[in-house]
Amino acid sequence: MSRCAASLFAGDDGRPLKQVLREIEAKQRAARDSRFPETADLPDEFDDLYYEWIDMRQFVNGLADKALSGRAPSPADLSAFDVERVRRRVSEFQKANPEVAGPYVALFKECDEILDLVTRASET
């Protein structure tokens, strides 16, 4: 990450933002190799979660890439995907199937953590 990228939408001296951008970069790198578990454990009524994860992951990675390139995601960018709908769906799955939900929920949590950091960076 270049110093210029961090300073494009930083406040004051940019230190907090630089740290957030480093966290985004690290979490994005760590999540890059994540794979959706075999769907044998996924009940039929929740088989859409695979596609929801792909869509959310693409959305979040696009926002992260934008932030890391020094452009602050706009409110319109941040609301272009219905994250709340996906969170509700994952919560329903977790409540209905707690014995198998862990690995699936962890993938969505990775996306959520990156999204939270991107949102924090865009507010700086």
Dihedral sign of CA atoms 56, 58, 64, 70 in order: negative
The rounded distance, in Å, linking the Cα atoms of 63 and 120 is 12
Residues 71-91: pLDDT tens digits? 889 999 999 999 999 999 999
Q: What is the pLDDT of residue 94?
A: 97
Burial 44-68 (b: 16+ CB within 10 A, else e): eebeebeebbeebbebbbebbebbb
Residues 26-71: pLDDT tens digits? 888 877 878 887 766 788 999 999 999 999 999 999 999 999 998 8
The rounded distance, in Å, linking the Cα atoms of 85 and 24 is 23
CA-CA distances (angstroms) from residue 61 to 8, 39, 49, 123? 19, 23, 18, 18
Residue of 50 and 15 predicted with greater confidence: 50
| pTM for the full predicted model | 0.79
Residue 18 has pLDDT above 90, yes or no: no
